[in-house]
Structure 1
Amino acid sequence: MTILNSSWLPAPALFGIVIDSSCIWWKQACNSRLGCGYYDNNILRNRYLGLQVGFKVMGIFLLGVVGWKVLRTREYSLEKRPDGPL
């Protein structure tokens, strides 16, 4: 049920891909992966922090686009626009 509720959010999957991509040695038994036995700490640190910075930059950019759109349209203003006498 948790997977269905968070399936629209790509961050957990992307962080999992980043963590798995920094694995150097996989534990295996009977041709199935049991988990990572050893991570390259430098690669993990760089990719993990890079993904976090990427999310922050994307969020700031989207916030700027939304703020620009709101200021441009003025549809969200609670004050009456001075259009002149009706």
Structure 2
Amino acid sequence: MRNPERIDRVLNLIKEIWVKQPDTRFLQLINNLTWEFSKQNNNRLHKTVYQKEEHNHVIVFGEKTIVNGFHVEDGEFEKFLEGYLDK
């Protein structure tokens, strides 16, 4: 079982960051932090996805980059947040 004390530690770090950026919406903050975490870790959370769209009967294929932090362990993200605050 994961240590439940990590929850308060991580949330307190996020709160500390958010207070310094009060105009940022919560999910915007989480999204920005996830992208930054990925960039600082050799883009390891980046994933290229392709999509097909149709506009006025013209098919267009697009490519975009997303980040997915689903598999990042809390302790690793906690260390990132600590470093983020130190900047």
Common fold: TM-score over 0.5: no
TM-score, normalising length from structure 2?
A: 0.29
Structure (1 or 2) with the greater strand fraction: 2
TM-score, normalising length from structure 1?
A: 0.29
Larger Rg: 1
Structure (1 or 2) with the greater helix fraction: 1
